Structure formats: structure tokens, C-alpha cells
Structure 1
Amino acid sequence: MVKRSRSRRMAESAWGVLLVGKAVILSAVVALLLASGVWVSWGTAQHVMLSKGRERGTMTVAACGDKTCTGPFVPTGPATARPRVTITRSVTHRTGEKLKVAVEPGTDDVVRTGWSGVLYAWVPLGGALLLAALVLAGGLRMPRSAWTAGLAGAALMVAAFALL
């Protein structure tokens, strides 16, 4: 039986600690990416997905600038009509288009509702999934999880822009 030297055992132990530390740190990076994607997405998604107490209706796109479009808001329930509300230009196609929207409380900003609005609100999570896939594949050597996360993120983003 061959006896290992004490220094060799300590070196192997230190290498194991480094590998565990790498896995813990990269797992924390993946968790941080996904948590931040959910956090950013929820800022918009809550107005789209939670309908109780929200003003909902239709907006007719009247004019568009570089980043936003404006138009009148006609409510479908007990809300008040507004002569001018603002929506992000990336969710509209042309002036004169009627969009189903929800008003963000306390503002004159609106977000699209329906499946297109829900998917568009979760686009930041799709981007976070794509970034997490890179860390999973490259740093953690988890190719199946990386493919799953990457394909889910890409599918979310493609579906969002296909429905807009």
C-alpha cells in the first residue's frame, strides 16, 4: 500500500474546495440572473396579468415619436376616459391601430394586455434565461440544463415578438 504524502493530500483537498467554491459562485450568478429577470419583468407583468383594480380598455394610436406612441384611452369598465395615454413604440405597428391595454396606476402610461402583452412583459426573463444558459454551459458544465434554459428564453422572446 502506497502512502500519500501529507502535502499531496492537502493539495487535493484545496483543489476540491476550489471546485466547490466555483460551483457555488456560478450557481449564485445563475440565480442572480434569473431573479433579476423576474424582478424586471414583474414590473410590467403585474399590470398585464393582475386585472383586479386595474383600468382596462382600448387605445387608438394617434401619433408616434422615437420611443413612444400616444393616443386616447377608452375604458371598458368603470374607469375614466383619458384624452392621451402613452405606450412604448415597440408594441405598436402603425397609427390608427386599436390596442387592448391596461393603465399603470398613478400614471398615463399603458401596457398591452392579452397574450402578446403577457409575453412581451416577460421578455427580460427570456434574456436572463439566455445569459444563464451561457453560465450553465460554460462555467458549470451542465449542457442539458443550458440547452433547456436557452431554448426556453429564445422561445419566449420569439413568441413575444411574433404575437406583437
Structure 2
Amino acid sequence: MSALTSRRSAASALRIGRLAAMGTVAVLILIAGVWASWGTAQHVMLTKGRERGTMTVEACADDRCTGPYTPASEGSRARDRVTIQSTVVAKKGRTYAVVVKPGSDDVVRTGPGGVLYAWVPLGGALLLASVVVAGGLRLTRLAWVLGGAGLTLLTVTFVAL
């Protein structure tokens, strides 16, 4: 009897260890996704007191587009050249509503497209976490919810941009 009890205890300990490890990995993936998204999302979502205006894209190279900035908010100043980080967000010759990152000449796109684009890293993290939840935690329904949310976010962003 003691060998059987010992075997059951070992199996329970391994199961609890697997759940704790995989749960930790899934949570860390989601935290990393939020952290990566928040670097841009804070500027897009919390625009009060920030310099807002428009940018006309003149040139794009190496995943960066540049152009002049025209202010739209009080206290904002015109700039001859600002930079937006990705050519996925901007197309040459178009004008976009943007927010200037404090202390720089870098801008981020505002509006629904900018908000969605800012949260793309979270969408990827949701997809990755769904695999960990399904395989490591064996919680398939939760995994489908996480994966569906990530896929939806990425698809809506692709359509919006």
C-alpha cells in the first residue's frame, strides 16, 4: 500500500508542478504582450496634455516614414520633420492624425487604427499563450478564447489599416 500511495503522491506533485510552471509561463507571456503594447498605446490612448496634430508622409525607408507635422492642439509646435515608426501604419503622400511622443520628434498614429496597431503585440501574446494554455494546462476552452481574441485583434487591425 505504501508504494501505491507514494506513486500517487509523486504523480500529484508532478501535476501541480506542471500546472504551476505552465500557468506562470502563460501569465508571463500575457504580461510581456501588455508591456510591449503599452509603450505605444499610452501615447495613443492618453492624449490629454500631449501634442496632437497631423503628419503628411513624404518619404519612407527602413521601416520609418518622415514628413512635416502640423499642430492641432494648443501648445503644440509645427515641425519640419517628424518620424513615424512603421511603414505598415503610413503610406507615402497620405496625411494622418498623430500624437507626438514627449521629448522627441517621433509620432504615433491616433484614432481607431492607431489604437488597434498599438495593441498588436498583445494579440500575438494571446495567440502564443493559447498554445501554452492548451498544451501545458490542458484548458482547451480557455485556450480557444485566448486564441480567438488574439486572432480577432490581429485581423481587425489588418483590416483597419
TM-score, length-scaled by structure 2: 0.96
Post-superposition CA distance 1:26-65 (Å, at most 9, x none): 0000100000000010000000000111111000001111
- 2:44 maps to which residue? 48
Q: Give the match for residue 9 of structure 1.
A: 5
Rg: which structure is higher? Answer: 1
- CA displacement, residues 127-157 of structure 1 (integer Å, 9 cap, x when unaligned): 0000000011111111111111001001101
Q: Tell me how far apart the structure 2 counterparts of residues 73 and 14 of structure 1 sit (CA, whole Å).
A: 65
Identity of aligned residues (%): 55
Aligned letter for 2:123? G
The one-letter code sitting in structure 1 at the alignment partner of 2:90 is T
Over aligned residue pairs, what C-alpha RMSD do you find?
0.8
Q: Which runs of 5 or more structure 2 residues have no equivalent in the other structure?
A: none
Question: Which amino acid in 2 is paired with 1:126?
Answer: G
Equivalent residue, structure 2, for 1:129: 126
For the residues of structure 2 that align with 1:114 and 1:130, how far apart are their CA atoms? 25
Quick one: distance in 2 between partners of 1:135 and 1:10?
A: 29
3-state SS, counterpart of residue 70 of structure 2 = strand
Q: Which residue of 1 aligns with 2:87?
A: 89
User: In the alignment, what sits opposite 1:80?
Assistant: 77
Name the SS of the counterpart of 1:89 in structure 2.
coil
Cross-structure match for 1:60? 56
1:147 aligned partner: 144
Which residue, 102, 108, 123 being the options, matches 1:111?
108
Q: Could you tell me which runs of 5 or more consecutive residues in structure 1 were left unpaired when the two chains were aligned.
A: none
* CA distance in 2 between partners of 1:158 and 1:39 (Å): 21
Cα deviation for residue 11 of structure 1 reads: 1.4
* TM-score when normalising by structure 1: 0.95
